[in-house]
A and B are shown apart, each in its own frame.
Chain A
């Protein structure tokens, strides 16, 4: 899989927000810092991390729909070409599609069919009907309003919008919270199918154990950056196969692995520590950790941002 050219490459992406205090003073708040990841065709890359780590903003950054007071640094390449705002404008809703989390992302006053068709003319009504049938949505679904959909129906409608645009890159933002295990598995299977058809899927989630099962690779997200990217198999194997102390802590914190919590809490944007972002909570911490942001290193078929990793 890795021999293929990557579809999306992100290197050293930083996103910060300008905050205006009073009339003249302004400060910037960095929510994503030095983030790097690549996605290949036909694979699911899970971006896993606890809430508040800036995962959802990553989706907005790729799509180019961050709020006006956000500024982006770093490089993004899509299909080998730089991903400029102009290209994002063309690609979003077409080659790059977002599958949002819930029915709240549908206009409450627009019927589902018309909404799934989208704004582009001519309306792809016939294809959309075929897709609805493929997903087992009843005929009358298109005439319903979003609030009348069940959770499962809403999810299928949302996924169908991505398929309708023939997306090559699907970004799924937290598709599983609030679902039972069966429902969540069904949802993730849908994304597995999309990837098996040759698409790239970025699965942003904090249901990390499910992600281990369905994804090809997992990027561990901490305080606005990726600390480790590794094959999902390594996560299934256990902590000794992992590279970053945070990944190991995350693994140990899972219910089936002993439920061991780690001390401290994730730093907030605006009060990030100097050097390694995980250093204050890290068992391997040395003085060198605070010297500067550790570079991303290739180790054992994965990437890690830790100077002690072997």
Chain B
């Protein structure tokens, strides 16, 4: 067992180094892209604040180092970043790190709900499809999955908004809390009420993938020789699904779910914008539109980190749960 742990430790370390390089590369590319933008951040700031004298403007330029060469600016930015200073958001006039921290919690609640919900529903439907292969339930769900993967997230959000918020009035039109209410007065029920539609949108967008994947894995299992033997020993469909199906399908499905953090984040950008939900997704769209460079860079890096964490979890999971990898004699 200690050998197994040290192997996982080594995998973990190697992945950590790889992640660090990846994030560094993302920071370089993101910075290069932002520097290449024709949008002038000082001009944007000045427009935003209004009434800035030419002297103040020069001061600002010096503060941001607009006239320094880009490489020098990159290292200044990176140095600050490593000290935990992501800079000031131009849009919200607050430190970027605070905004990310606060909004990430909102996004996390949304993504976690959608992740769990789509994972459970997707896995369940995938199992149902696999067990009823080529029969009616399988055919119907498969078509639903295909259609859902051709529907843009934001349009689905719009439809849900139209039906449940405008027509039926069951859910609010947007935001994470009732408007005009102080943050500490908001109850959990109210938060969930506001979370429901965006989370549903995001779930509906992501379950098709996991369902189709689970279906094809389960079909492989059902066609395997060990299931033939299980049937020869008198196991019925229920027992086969419980004893062999879930055991062999759960791990790949879980791995896929962790490896799909990028799609999850991308989807949450759309869902948050439709529902004006104050998470990272609506912040990044606003940052890009309002030329809030520090916030844009900060969220880009953070989203890359988020994706890396998902991939890392997927990799480790594979090593820990699969006995063929875990107990392989070295």
Chain B residues near A105 (CB, 8 Å)? 225-226, 228-229
Interface residues on A, range: 20 to 34
Q: Can you list, as one digit per residue, whether each of A237-252 has a CB less than 8 Å from chain B (1) or not (0)? A: 0000000000000000
Does B330 count as interface, using CB distance less than 8 angstroms? no
B225 and A104 contacting across the interface, CB-CB below 8 Å: yes
Q: Is A148's beta carbon under 8 Å from chain B?
A: yes
Task: Pick the contact of B233: A104, A108, A161 (CB < 8 A).
Answer: A161
A93 engages B226 (CB within 8 Å): no
B84 at the interface (CB under 8 A from A): no
- Answer whether residue A297 sits at the interface, using C-beta atoms and an 8 A cutoff: no
| Chain A residue contacts of B69, Cβ below 8 A | none
Residue numbers in B under 8 Å from A98 (CB-CB): 229, 232-233
Q: Distance in Å from the Cβ of A171 to the closest Cβ of chain B?
A: 8
Count residues on chain B whose CB falls below 8 Å from chain A CBs. 19
* Cβ of B235 under 8 Å from chain A: yes
CA of A104 to CA of B244, assembled, Å:
13
Residues in B neighbouring A119, C-beta threshold 8 A: 230, 233-235, 239, 243
Which of B231, B233, B248 contacts A118, CB < 8 Å? B233
| B85: interface (CB < 8 Å) | no
Contact A92 B248 (CB under 8 A): no
With A108-B324, A148-B327 in contact, do A89 and B226 touch (Cβ < 8 Å)?
A: no
Contacting B324 at CB < 8 Å: which of A60, A118, A120, A147? A147
Distance in angstroms between the alpha carbons of A94 and B244 in the assembled complex: 20
Given contacts A93-B234, A98-B233, A109-B248, contact A65 B243 (CB under 8 A): no
B323 at the interface (CB under 8 A from A): yes
Give A146-176 interface residues, CB cut-off 8 Å to B: 147-148, 161, 165
Q: Which residues of A contact B324 (CB under 8 A)?
A: 108, 145, 147
Q: Provide the residues of chain A in CB contact with B322, threshold 8 Å.
A: 109
A residues engaging B (CB < 8 A)?
59-60, 63, 65, 89, 92-94, 97-98, 100, 104-110, 118-120, 145, 147-148, 161, 165
B: which residues have CB within 8 A of A?
225-226, 228-235, 239, 243-244, 247-248, 322-324, 327
6 A-B pairs whose Cβ atoms sit less than 8 Å apart in the complex: A60-B232, A97-B232, A107-B243, A108-B226, A145-B323, A148-B327
- 10 pairs of A and B residues whose beta carbons are closest in the complex: A93-B234, A98-B232, A93-B233, A105-B229, A65-B231, A107-B226, A145-B323, A119-B239, A104-B225, A105-B225
For the complex with contacts A97-B232, A107-B248, 12 further pairs of A-B residues with Cβ separation under 8 Å are A59-B232, A89-B234, A98-B233, A106-B226, A107-B247, A108-B324, A109-B322, A110-B243, A118-B233, A119-B239, A147-B323, A161-B233
